[in-house]
Amino acid sequence: MITALLCAVSGMVGGAMQVNETEALKRSVVSQGDPARILRVMARAQAGGKVVVGVIGGSITQGAAASKEEYRWGNRVAQWWREAFPKAEIQFVNAGIGATGSDIGAHRCAAHLLAKKPDFVVAEYAVNDGDTQLAAETLEGVVRQVLSAPNKPGMMLLFTMNNAGGNAQAWHSKVGAHYSLPMVSFRDALWPEIQAGRLRWEDVEGDVVHPNDRGHGECARFIGGVLQGIKATLKPGSAQAAIRPLPKPLISDVFQYATMLGPAALKPTRSEGWVPGPDHWAFGAGWKSTQPGSTLEFTVEGSTVSVIYFRIKGAMGRALAQVDDLPPVTLEGWFDADWGGYDAAQIVARDLKPGPHKLTLRVLNERAPTSAGYEFRLIQVLTAGMAHR
């Protein structure tokens, strides 16, 4: 059975800590949302059609701390669809990239997720995003892109947590409520159990933020609980409810019109001291320099211009990023943690007027005190806003 599959790995039900799984399941539901889009997908699945299940998020979605690919929460959600609709052809797309938030997600959503034409999408950015209005605005960009897709996908939000019980749920849930999305919270379900001593953090988490096999199973169980409730209202052959038009933005639609630009799509108008960077598994080769004073310039369009750059505890330097004559932004390539490197996103300028703009990056003759070099890697240029309407 589906529930047994989701709970199979680590004795999730009936464990030694005596967690009340029924109450946890109830608490996990932040909002049932409007089921119309998901019901349409389920009707197609029930008729034996093809359904593409897609997930987008950070390293939790990518599958960090899961011991096997099939134990990742996204794979388990896809398995829910396979078992719930055995006649259907269920395909799965995992668009998770570690250490990325919805700011990067909004710019890569079209290429990494929507190009696969998903029919049902779950987004998970509650840990990697800050609990801020800006994070809600970039998440809104992801949501509006998904809901605007021609095949009218259904969508849910998943809220995970860190080891202090924190996440971006307060702001993210405002977006979900505005678009009537079903939402589930791993945090709301399990943090009370941890605080009460009925569940240990390490029972469901592999480190300070990534769920282990059992935790991934819980995420999938909470999503599956909402899906099961929607499926219970599905009546064979009956007309499905109309899908509501996309409402006006809650914060803005700037990041609904967003894209990533790498070397294949964006050529520098000036390049002094920069060479192609090492190939990045998710984004391809960008640009790299090791010499202070090296300058890189591009002509871009959009109301918002951002960059993705690489940070790691190594011989890394700093760069100055500037759009036109606006105030510049300093980008720090050195990172003080030992777990590896990551791709940082930074808005360089926003609320720009229509037309071309000059983006300039210059490697500075300064670095972190513990860095041994000046290397700087630009991974992608990001644009959003009016240029893509």
249 within a domain of the structure (yes/no): no
187 with 63, same domain: the answer is: yes
Cα separations in angstroms, 167 against 67, 73, 138, 185: 24, 18, 16, 10
Residues sharing a CB contact under 8 Å with residue 65, sequence separation 6 or more, in sequence order: 205, 206, 207, 210, 211, 212, 213, 215, 216
For helices 73-84 and 213-231, the axis angle rounded to 10 degrees is 30
141 with 279, same domain: the answer is: no
CATH number at residue 212: 3.40.50.1110
According to the model, what pLDDT value does residue 82 have? Answer: 98
pTM of the model: 0.94
Residues sharing a CB contact under 8 Å with residue 201, sequence separation 6 or more, in sequence order: 163, 194
227 within a domain of the structure (yes/no): yes
190 with 269, same domain: the answer is: no
CA 41 vs. chain centroid, Å, equals 22
115 with 262, same domain: the answer is: no
212 with 272, same domain: the answer is: no
* Structure tokens given for 233: 């209202």
Residues sharing a CB contact under 8 Å with residue 232, sequence separation 6 or more, in sequence order: none
Instruction: Look up the domain containing 7 and give its range.
Output: 2-231
According to the model, what pLDDT value does residue 239 have? Answer: 64
Dihedral sign from CA coordinates of 6, 10, 11, 12: negative
242 within a domain of the structure (yes/no): no
167 with 217, same domain: the answer is: yes
Cα separations in angstroms, 184 against 156, 276, 347, 350: 8, 42, 30, 32
186 within a domain of the structure (yes/no): yes
169 within a domain of the structure (yes/no): yes
According to the model, what pLDDT value does residue 15 have? Answer: 43
283 within a domain of the structure (yes/no): yes
CB 231 within 8 A of CB 84: yes
40 with 79, same domain: the answer is: yes
According to the model, what pLDDT value does residue 193 have? Answer: 96
Ordered strands of the 356-363 beta sheet: 270-272, 295-301, 356-363, 318-323, 329-332
* Structure tokens given for 259: 């894209």
276 with 171, same domain: the answer is: no
Cα–Cα nearest to 267, from 301, 304, 296: 296
Cα–Cα nearest to 319, from 365, 359, 369: 365
Residues sharing a CB contact under 8 Å with residue 200, sequence separation 6 or more, in sequence order: 17, 194
221 with 268, same domain: the answer is: no
pLDDT in tens, the chain (389 residues): 444 444 433 334 334 457 889 999 999 999 999 999 999 999 999 999 999 999 999 999 999 999 999 999 999 999 999 999 999 999 999 999 999 999 999 999 999 999 999 999 999 999 999 999 999 999 999 999 999 999 999 999 999 999 999 999 999 999 999 999 999 999 999 999 999 999 999 999 999 999 999 999 999 999 999 999 999 999 876 667 789 999 999 999 999 999 999 999 999 999 999 999 998 878 988 999 999 999 999 999 999 999 999 999 999 999 999 999 999 999 999 999 998 899 999 999 999 999 999 999 999 999 999 999 999 999 999 999 974 44
266 with 216, same domain: the answer is: no
262 with 194, same domain: the answer is: no
CATH number at residue 343: 2.60.120.260
149 within a domain of the structure (yes/no): yes
Instruction: Find the distance separating the first CA and the last CA of the chain, reported in whole Å.
Output: 46
319 within a domain of the structure (yes/no): yes
Domain boundary residue, one of 215, 231, 247: 231
Q: How far apart are CA 346 and CA 301, in angstroms?
A: 17
Q: How far apart are CA 340 and CA 324, in angstroms?
A: 33
Environment class of 174 (CB within 10 Å of its CB; exposed 0-12, middle 13-18, buried 19+): middle
12 with 140, same domain: the answer is: yes
Q: How far apart are CA 109 and CA 257, in angstroms?
A: 10
According to the model, what pLDDT value does residue 217 have? Answer: 98
Domain boundary residue, one of 175, 196, 231: 231
Provide the number of structural domains found in the chain: 2
